[in-house]
Amino acid sequence: MTDSSKGILYATITALLWGVLAIVLKISLAYFDSYTVVWWRFTMAFAFLVIYFAINRRGYLTILKKPPLKLLLAGALLGLNYIGFMQGVHYAGPAVTQVMIQLGPIMLALTGFLFFKERLTRIRAFGFLLALLGFTFFYFQQLQTLVNEPAMLNLGVLWVLTGALAWTAYAVLNKILVRNIASGQINLILYGVPAILFLPLADFSSLLAVDSLGKVLLLLFLGGNTLVAYGSLSLALKYAEANKVSMIITINPVITFVVMEILFWSHVTWFDVPPVGAMSYVGAAMVLVGAIFAIGAIDRKNKGR
Protein backbone atom coordinates (compact mmCIF):
# COMPACT_ATOMS: atom_id res chain seq x y z
CA MET A 1 0.00 0.00 0.00
CA THR A 2 1.39 3.41 -0.98
CA ASP A 3 1.69 6.26 1.52
CA SER A 4 -1.13 8.09 -0.25
CA SER A 5 -3.40 5.04 0.04
CA LYS A 6 -2.57 4.72 3.73
CA GLY A 7 -3.42 8.37 4.26
CA ILE A 8 -6.76 7.99 2.45
CA LEU A 9 -7.57 4.89 4.53
CA TYR A 10 -6.82 6.61 7.84
CA ALA A 11 -8.78 9.71 6.78
CA THR A 12 -11.75 7.50 5.87
CA ILE A 13 -11.68 5.93 9.33
CA THR A 14 -11.76 9.43 10.84
CA ALA A 15 -14.68 10.47 8.62
CA LEU A 16 -16.69 7.37 9.54
CA LEU A 17 -16.15 7.88 13.26
CA TRP A 18 -17.00 11.58 13.07
CA GLY A 19 -20.11 10.83 11.03
CA VAL A 20 -21.49 8.60 13.78
CA LEU A 21 -20.18 10.89 16.52
CA ALA A 22 -22.50 13.75 15.57
CA ILE A 23 -25.50 11.60 16.48
CA VAL A 24 -23.98 10.27 19.70
CA LEU A 25 -23.05 13.77 20.86
CA LYS A 26 -26.66 14.89 20.44
CA ILE A 27 -27.74 11.98 22.63
CA SER A 28 -25.06 12.70 25.26
CA LEU A 29 -26.29 16.28 25.79
CA ALA A 30 -29.41 14.81 27.38
CA TYR A 31 -27.28 13.49 30.24
CA PHE A 32 -24.14 15.66 30.43
CA ASP A 33 -23.20 19.27 29.73
CA SER A 34 -20.81 20.27 26.94
CA TYR A 35 -17.75 20.85 29.14
CA THR A 36 -18.12 17.51 30.92
CA VAL A 37 -18.41 15.63 27.62
CA VAL A 38 -15.31 17.35 26.23
CA TRP A 39 -13.29 16.75 29.41
CA TRP A 40 -14.30 13.08 29.53
CA ARG A 41 -13.42 12.42 25.88
CA PHE A 42 -9.92 13.82 26.24
CA THR A 43 -9.27 12.34 29.68
CA MET A 44 -10.26 8.81 28.71
CA ALA A 45 -8.20 8.95 25.52
CA PHE A 46 -5.18 10.36 27.39
CA ALA A 47 -5.40 7.75 30.17
CA PHE A 48 -5.59 4.91 27.65
CA LEU A 49 -2.50 6.14 25.79
CA VAL A 50 -0.51 6.58 29.00
CA ILE A 51 -1.30 3.04 30.11
CA TYR A 52 -0.60 1.60 26.65
CA PHE A 53 2.73 3.37 26.26
CA ALA A 54 3.76 2.54 29.84
CA ILE A 55 3.38 -1.14 28.96
CA ASN A 56 4.56 -1.21 25.34
CA ARG A 57 6.55 1.94 24.49
CA ARG A 58 7.85 3.71 27.58
CA GLY A 59 10.09 5.90 25.45
CA TYR A 60 7.02 7.67 24.07
CA LEU A 61 6.21 9.01 27.56
CA THR A 62 9.38 11.12 27.61
CA ILE A 63 7.59 13.79 25.57
CA LEU A 64 5.51 14.56 28.67
CA LYS A 65 8.61 16.03 30.36
CA LYS A 66 9.16 18.82 27.83
CA PRO A 67 6.62 18.89 24.97
CA PRO A 68 7.27 21.33 22.10
CA LEU A 69 5.48 24.66 22.37
CA LYS A 70 3.80 24.12 19.00
CA LEU A 71 2.37 20.83 20.26
CA LEU A 72 1.01 22.45 23.43
CA LEU A 73 -0.62 25.10 21.26
CA ALA A 74 -2.10 22.42 18.99
CA GLY A 75 -3.60 20.70 22.04
CA ALA A 76 -5.20 23.94 23.24
CA LEU A 77 -6.60 24.59 19.75
CA LEU A 78 -8.05 21.09 19.55
CA GLY A 79 -9.75 21.62 22.91
CA LEU A 80 -11.20 24.88 21.62
CA ASN A 81 -12.50 23.07 18.55
CA TYR A 82 -14.23 20.44 20.69
CA ILE A 83 -16.01 22.91 22.93
CA GLY A 84 -16.87 25.11 19.95
CA PHE A 85 -18.64 22.22 18.25
CA MET A 86 -20.43 21.11 21.43
CA GLN A 87 -21.63 24.62 22.25
CA GLY A 88 -22.74 25.03 18.65
CA VAL A 89 -24.93 21.93 18.94
CA HIS A 90 -26.28 23.25 22.24
CA TYR A 91 -27.10 26.81 21.17
CA ALA A 92 -27.62 26.72 17.38
CA GLY A 93 -28.66 23.09 16.89
CA PRO A 94 -26.96 20.20 15.07
CA ALA A 95 -28.11 21.22 11.56
CA VAL A 96 -26.55 24.70 11.58
CA THR A 97 -23.50 23.36 13.41
CA GLN A 98 -22.87 20.73 10.75
CA VAL A 99 -23.07 23.39 8.05
CA MET A 100 -20.71 25.86 9.68
CA ILE A 101 -18.11 23.40 11.02
CA GLN A 102 -17.19 22.34 7.47
CA LEU A 103 -15.34 25.62 7.19
CA GLY A 104 -12.47 23.91 9.03
CA PRO A 105 -11.65 21.17 6.48
CA ILE A 106 -12.24 23.60 3.60
CA MET A 107 -9.67 26.00 5.05
CA LEU A 108 -7.29 23.08 5.61
CA ALA A 109 -7.55 22.22 1.91
CA LEU A 110 -6.67 25.81 1.02
CA THR A 111 -3.66 25.79 3.34
CA GLY A 112 -2.55 22.59 1.65
CA PHE A 113 -2.31 24.43 -1.65
CA LEU A 114 -1.02 27.75 -0.28
CA PHE A 115 1.15 26.78 2.70
CA PHE A 116 2.34 23.26 1.88
CA LYS A 117 2.55 23.96 -1.87
CA GLU A 118 0.46 20.94 -2.80
CA ARG A 119 -0.35 20.62 -6.51
CA LEU A 120 -3.78 21.65 -7.78
CA THR A 121 -4.78 20.10 -11.11
CA ARG A 122 -7.90 20.63 -13.19
CA ILE A 123 -9.32 17.24 -12.21
CA ARG A 124 -8.75 17.88 -8.52
CA ALA A 125 -10.16 21.41 -8.78
CA PHE A 126 -13.25 20.02 -10.52
CA GLY A 127 -13.68 17.54 -7.68
CA PHE A 128 -13.52 20.26 -5.03
CA LEU A 129 -15.99 22.48 -6.88
CA LEU A 130 -18.41 19.59 -7.44
CA ALA A 131 -18.24 18.67 -3.76
CA LEU A 132 -18.80 22.30 -2.76
CA LEU A 133 -21.86 22.50 -5.00
CA GLY A 134 -23.04 19.19 -3.58
CA PHE A 135 -22.87 20.54 -0.04
CA THR A 136 -25.01 23.49 -1.12
CA PHE A 137 -27.68 21.03 -2.25
CA PHE A 138 -27.14 18.79 0.76
CA TYR A 139 -27.62 21.64 3.22
CA PHE A 140 -30.30 23.47 1.24
CA GLN A 141 -32.95 23.32 3.96
CA GLN A 142 -30.48 24.24 6.72
CA LEU A 143 -29.09 27.14 4.69
CA GLN A 144 -32.64 28.44 4.13
CA THR A 145 -33.20 28.38 7.87
CA LEU A 146 -29.97 30.26 8.44
CA VAL A 147 -30.95 32.97 5.93
CA ASN A 148 -34.62 33.27 6.87
CA GLU A 149 -34.04 33.31 10.63
CA PRO A 150 -31.33 35.86 11.51
CA ALA A 151 -31.73 34.84 15.15
CA MET A 152 -29.82 31.67 14.29
CA LEU A 153 -26.73 33.85 13.84
CA ASN A 154 -26.19 33.93 17.57
CA LEU A 155 -23.74 32.74 20.16
CA GLY A 156 -23.94 29.18 18.83
CA VAL A 157 -22.75 30.14 15.35
CA LEU A 158 -19.89 32.16 16.83
CA TRP A 159 -18.86 29.12 18.85
CA VAL A 160 -18.86 26.92 15.75
CA LEU A 161 -16.86 29.41 13.67
CA THR A 162 -14.33 29.67 16.48
CA GLY A 163 -14.13 25.88 16.63
CA ALA A 164 -13.65 25.61 12.85
CA LEU A 165 -10.83 28.17 12.82
CA ALA A 166 -9.19 26.45 15.80
CA TRP A 167 -9.39 23.08 14.04
CA THR A 168 -7.70 24.42 10.91
CA ALA A 169 -4.83 25.87 12.95
CA TYR A 170 -4.53 22.60 14.90
CA ALA A 171 -4.44 20.53 11.70
CA VAL A 172 -1.72 22.72 10.16
CA LEU A 173 0.43 22.38 13.29
CA ASN A 174 -0.20 18.62 13.33
CA LYS A 175 0.85 18.37 9.68
CA ILE A 176 4.14 20.09 10.58
CA LEU A 177 4.80 18.21 13.83
CA VAL A 178 4.09 14.72 12.45
CA ARG A 179 7.14 15.02 10.22
CA ASN A 180 9.49 14.68 13.19
CA ILE A 181 7.40 13.36 16.08
CA ALA A 182 5.59 10.00 16.27
CA SER A 183 1.82 10.36 15.92
CA GLY A 184 1.31 8.50 19.19
CA GLN A 185 3.40 11.05 21.09
CA ILE A 186 1.58 13.91 19.37
CA ASN A 187 -1.78 12.52 20.41
CA LEU A 188 -0.57 12.03 23.97
CA ILE A 189 -0.10 15.79 24.31
CA LEU A 190 -3.14 16.65 22.19
CA TYR A 191 -5.36 14.71 24.61
CA GLY A 192 -3.53 15.71 27.79
CA VAL A 193 -3.62 19.49 27.34
CA PRO A 194 -7.44 19.81 26.93
CA ALA A 195 -7.97 17.26 29.73
CA ILE A 196 -6.16 19.66 32.08
CA LEU A 197 -7.77 22.81 30.66
CA PHE A 198 -11.35 21.54 31.00
CA LEU A 199 -10.85 19.86 34.39
CA PRO A 200 -12.20 22.85 36.40
CA LEU A 201 -15.31 23.04 34.17
CA ALA A 202 -16.35 19.37 34.32
CA ASP A 203 -19.46 18.38 36.29
CA PHE A 204 -18.35 15.23 38.09
CA SER A 205 -21.74 14.79 39.76
CA SER A 206 -23.30 13.88 36.41
CA LEU A 207 -20.58 11.31 35.77
CA LEU A 208 -21.01 9.79 39.23
CA ALA A 209 -24.74 9.59 38.59
CA VAL A 210 -24.28 7.17 35.65
CA ASP A 211 -26.61 4.32 36.57
CA SER A 212 -27.16 2.23 33.46
CA LEU A 213 -25.19 0.12 31.02
CA GLY A 214 -26.36 2.37 28.18
CA LYS A 215 -24.75 5.45 29.73
CA VAL A 216 -21.54 3.54 30.42
CA LEU A 217 -21.35 2.43 26.79
CA LEU A 218 -22.09 6.02 25.72
CA LEU A 219 -19.11 7.32 27.71
CA LEU A 220 -16.84 4.55 26.43
CA PHE A 221 -17.78 5.35 22.85
CA LEU A 222 -17.16 9.08 23.32
CA GLY A 223 -13.66 8.48 24.68
CA GLY A 224 -12.85 5.70 22.22
CA ASN A 225 -14.01 7.81 19.30
CA THR A 226 -11.57 10.57 20.23
CA LEU A 227 -8.73 8.09 20.64
CA VAL A 228 -9.18 6.31 17.31
CA ALA A 229 -10.44 9.21 15.16
CA TYR A 230 -7.63 11.63 16.00
CA GLY A 231 -5.04 8.88 16.00
CA SER A 232 -6.12 8.06 12.46
CA LEU A 233 -6.16 11.73 11.51
CA SER A 234 -2.55 12.23 12.62
CA LEU A 235 -1.49 9.24 10.52
CA ALA A 236 -3.55 10.51 7.57
CA LEU A 237 -1.77 13.89 7.70
CA LYS A 238 1.55 12.05 7.88
CA TYR A 239 0.99 9.95 4.76
CA ALA A 240 -1.27 12.07 2.54
CA GLU A 241 -1.59 15.64 1.32
CA ALA A 242 -3.60 17.99 3.53
CA ASN A 243 -6.10 18.78 0.75
CA LYS A 244 -6.85 15.08 0.21
CA VAL A 245 -7.34 14.47 3.92
CA SER A 246 -9.62 17.50 4.22
CA MET A 247 -11.69 16.35 1.23
CA ILE A 248 -12.34 12.97 2.83
CA ILE A 249 -13.18 14.18 6.32
CA THR A 250 -15.52 16.81 4.88
CA ILE A 251 -17.73 13.89 3.82
CA ASN A 252 -18.53 13.01 7.44
CA PRO A 253 -21.86 14.93 7.45
CA VAL A 254 -22.98 12.74 4.53
CA ILE A 255 -22.20 9.71 6.69
CA THR A 256 -24.30 11.27 9.45
CA PHE A 257 -27.10 11.74 6.90
CA VAL A 258 -26.95 8.07 5.84
CA VAL A 259 -27.10 6.85 9.45
CA MET A 260 -29.98 9.22 10.21
CA GLU A 261 -31.88 7.90 7.19
CA ILE A 262 -31.36 4.32 8.37
CA LEU A 263 -32.72 5.29 11.80
CA PHE A 264 -35.66 7.10 10.18
CA TRP A 265 -36.68 4.15 8.01
CA SER A 266 -36.18 1.81 10.96
CA HIS A 267 -38.86 3.81 12.82
CA VAL A 268 -36.59 4.53 15.77
CA THR A 269 -38.61 5.95 18.67
CA TRP A 270 -35.87 6.72 21.20
CA PHE A 271 -34.22 9.33 18.98
CA ASP A 272 -35.78 12.29 17.17
CA VAL A 273 -34.94 11.73 13.49
CA PRO A 274 -36.21 14.42 11.09
CA PRO A 275 -37.02 13.39 7.49
CA VAL A 276 -34.55 14.39 4.78
CA GLY A 277 -35.64 16.00 1.50
CA ALA A 278 -34.84 14.74 -1.99
CA MET A 279 -32.43 17.67 -2.48
CA SER A 280 -30.17 16.17 0.18
CA TYR A 281 -29.94 12.89 -1.74
CA VAL A 282 -28.76 14.75 -4.84
CA GLY A 283 -26.24 16.76 -2.82
CA ALA A 284 -24.85 13.66 -1.08
CA ALA A 285 -24.26 11.96 -4.44
CA MET A 286 -22.50 15.06 -5.79
CA VAL A 287 -20.24 15.26 -2.73
CA LEU A 288 -19.20 11.63 -3.05
CA VAL A 289 -18.48 11.91 -6.79
CA GLY A 290 -16.55 15.14 -6.18
CA ALA A 291 -14.47 13.42 -3.53
CA ILE A 292 -13.61 10.60 -5.95
CA PHE A 293 -12.27 13.12 -8.47
CA ALA A 294 -10.45 15.14 -5.80
CA ILE A 295 -8.60 12.24 -4.15
CA GLY A 296 -8.73 9.32 -6.58
CA ALA A 297 -8.63 10.30 -10.25
CA ILE A 298 -5.42 12.30 -9.97
CA ASP A 299 -3.63 9.33 -8.39
CA ARG A 300 -4.60 7.06 -11.26
CA LYS A 301 -3.43 9.66 -13.75
CA ASN A 302 0.03 9.88 -12.14
CA LYS A 303 0.37 6.22 -11.25
CA GLY A 304 2.97 5.51 -13.93
CA ARG A 305 5.11 8.59 -13.26
Q: What is the pLDDT of residues 134-174, one digit of tens each?
A: 877 877 766 666 666 555 556 777 898 899 999 999 989 99
Tens of pLDDT along 238-279?
898 888 888 788 778 778 777 877 877 777 665 565 566 677
Mean local confidence (pLDDT), 55-67 = 95
**Average per-residue pLDDT for the chain:** 83
Higher per-residue pLDDT: 233 or 1: 233
- Residue 292 has a pLDDT of 72
Mean local confidence (pLDDT), 183-208 = 95
**pLDDT at residue 114 is higher than 50:** yes
Confidence of residue 301 (pLDDT cuts 50, 70, 90): very low
Write the secondary structure of the chain as one string of H (helix), E (strand) and C (coil).
Answer: CCHHHHHHHHHHHHHHHHHHHHHHHHHHCCCCCHHHHHHHHHHHHHHHHHHHHHHHCHHHHHHHCCCCHHHHHHHHHHHHHHHHHHHHHHHCCHHHHHHHHCHHHHHHHHHHHHCCCCCCCHHHHHHHHHHHHHHHHHCHHHHHHHHHCHHHCCHHHHHHHHHHHHHHHHHHHHHHHCCCCCHHHHHHHHHHHHHHHCHHHCCHHHHHCCCCHHHHHHHHHHHHHHHHHHHHHHHHHHHCCHHHHHHHHCCHHHHHHHHHHHHHHCCCCCCCCCCCCHHHHHHHHHHHHHHHHHHHHHHHHCCCC
**pLDDT at residue 36 is higher than 70:** yes
Q: Terminal CA-to-CA distance of the chain, rounded, Å?
A: 17
Pick from 34, 271, 26, 23: nearest CA to 155: 34
- Residue 107 has a pLDDT of 81
pTM check: above 0.85: no
Alpha carbons within 13 A on the beta-carbon side of 32: 28
- Residue 304 has a pLDDT of 36
- Residue 276 has a pLDDT of 61
- Residue 141 has a pLDDT of 64
Mean local confidence (pLDDT), 285-294 = 76
Confidence of residue 305 (pLDDT cuts 50, 70, 90): very low
**pLDDT at residue 93 is higher than 80:** no
Pick from 161, 163, 185: nearest CA to 174: 185
